[in-house]
Structure 1
Amino acid sequence: MPTHAEVRDDLTDILVAVVACDRADVVDEARLEALGVDSLALVEVADELGRRHDRYLVDDVVNHLVTVDDAVRAILEHDGSAGPRRVATSLHHPAPPVVDDEKSHRTSAMSKIAGFFIVLGAIIGVVLGLGGAALVAATGIGGVELPPIAAPSSEPTASASPSPSPEPTEEPEEEEEEDEEPTFEVGSNQVAPGQRFTLSGSFPELDDGEVLQVQVREDDGDWEDFPVTAITSSGGDYQTHVYTSRTGEREFRMLHRSSDTATDSEKVQIG
């Protein structure tokens, strides 16, 4: 069971990363709103804090978090169940598509109608073909005999000249395969505060299931971990979504910590 201080330290790290507040301002009685946490950022902060301690904070609890102490006690007083992941933060496993029954019925009906017209067309084609054959037989067109074609006289063939033997061709040398560099793209380079945007790309040298860390920095400062990760799929492809309410220009990249390999970065203007 984590202590009050441990949970508050984790919460402090998350608040500094998400809303860039001063670490010294994160005290028990501090109001989250005064630290710069709006409704969108509150969901992001609560979800990341719950993930770190394997606790799921339901919406009713999150909506009643007012102070730093409220958020810490929400983790300490939790019953311990991991619970489902919130849809807004399930970045690696998109929700299954919803099946539209009405659309499915319409599709089935259209398939039946199309099948009927295909069968009807085949029947009409057969009828027209038989009718045409009968018409040809009745008019006697098929019975016309044409004179035989005279066989061409054979001409003396010239002796074949020997063909030159082909010159041996040099096989091109195989080029050594170069390792493919990881790629990184952002869905939009300018978004509104709190607007979700996509980070995607590929680590061709990685297998599926590898964890990638989103990193962020400002004004060419040090890279810091953003509280979002991504998981590679087959071929090293990845995709995740992030959002932040903090305005200004921020630079993002993806890091594979195990191999210490990072992608090129992209800048995003927030606001």
Structure 2
Amino acid sequence: MSSRASGGTLAAFLIFAAIIGFAGGAYLGTQSGDAEPNSAPTLSGDADADGDAAADGNTDEPEGDEEEPNEDDEPAGDGSLTFSLSQSSAAAGSRIDYSGRLGSGEEGVTLQIQRSIDGGEWEDFPVSRDTGANGEFSGYLETGRSGSNSFRVVRADDSSVVSEPATVEIQ
């Protein structure tokens, strides 16, 4: 018997190592650093945005200077939900960390992330997140859509609770 491994044995071990590597990478890649691995974000479906509604990130208005609400206006952030991105520009497909807090401090509230591309309509992004202790949440998202990507968070059970948008430029 030869003590030398055959080419077939070597190929089998390489295939086995690749399978283990892909499985381990997939598992670790879905972990967002919190205790809920099932709520890990996913890669964007990247559906087209046809609308041309403005997505102005600065909706602060001076107190006492109220306007009549317009039915076509997007819901303004009401201060009870904060949301921020870790960077203002990123390469397509790269990891973009986010964090925020629900002002009421409730735990277990489902939040839906929405996206507007280049000032288009707000669409649900395929990422939702449940709040943790003290109403805090964090995770990451990835997108391949180039341009100005604005993201915001909406409370799933009360669409009037909306964060201010945070924008990242995707190259």
TM range (shorter): 0.5 to 0.7
Q: Does 1:88 align with 2:29?
A: yes
Pick from 216, 223, 230 the counterpart of residue 129 of structure 2: 230
2:140 aligned with 1:241, yes or no? yes
What amino acid is aligned across from residue 95 of structure 2 in structure 1?
A: R
When Rg is computed on C-alpha atoms for both structures, the one with the higher figure is 1
Match of 2:5 in 1: none
Give, in whole Å, the separation in 2 of the partners of 1:224 and 1:87: 28
Gaps of 5+ in 1: 1-58, 64-84, 96-178
Report the equivalent of 2:83: 184
TM-score, normalised via structure 1 length = 0.36
- Give 1:219 deviation, angstroms: 2.7
Matched ranges for 1:1-271 at <5 A: 86-91=27-32, 92-93=34-35, 181-260=80-159, 261-271=161-171
Distance 1:226 1:220, change over 3 A: same
In the superposition, the TM-score normalised over structure 2's length comes to: 0.55
| CA-CA distance at 1:217 after TM superposition | 0.9
Q: 1:215 to 1:206 in 2, by over 3 A?
A: same
Higher relative contact order (CA 8 A, sep 6+): 2
| Aligned-residue RMSD, C-alpha | 2.5
Amino acid aligned to 2:31: S
Q: CA deviation at 1:180?
A: 5.6
CA distance in 2 between counterparts of 1:184 and 1:217 reads: 15
CA distance in 2, matches of 1:217, 1:270: 13
Change (3 A) 1:267 1:248: same
Q: Which amino acid aligns with 1:93?
A: A
Q: CA deviation at 1:194?
A: 1.3
CA distance in 1, matches of 2:170, 2:79: 31
Q: Which amino acid aligns with 2:27?
A: R
Compute the displacement of 1:245 (Å). 2.0
Distance across 1 between alignment mates of 2:131 and 2:158: 14
1: CA distance between counterparts of 2:111 and 2:170?
23
Which stretches of structure 1, 4 residues or longer, exceed 3 Å deviation after superposition? 90-95
- State the secondary structure of the residue aligned to 1:86: helix
Q: Which has the higher strand share?
A: 2
Unaligned stretches of 5+ in structure 2? 1-17, 38-77
Letter of the 1:264 partner, please give it: E
CA 1:229 to 1:90, structure 2 compared with 1: closer, same or farther past 3 Å?
A: farther
Give yes or no for contact 1:229–1:240 (8 Å, CA) kept in 2: no
Residues 266 and 180 of structure 1, relative CA distance in 2, 3 Å threshold? closer
The 1:254/1:247 distance shift into structure 2, 3 A limit, reads same
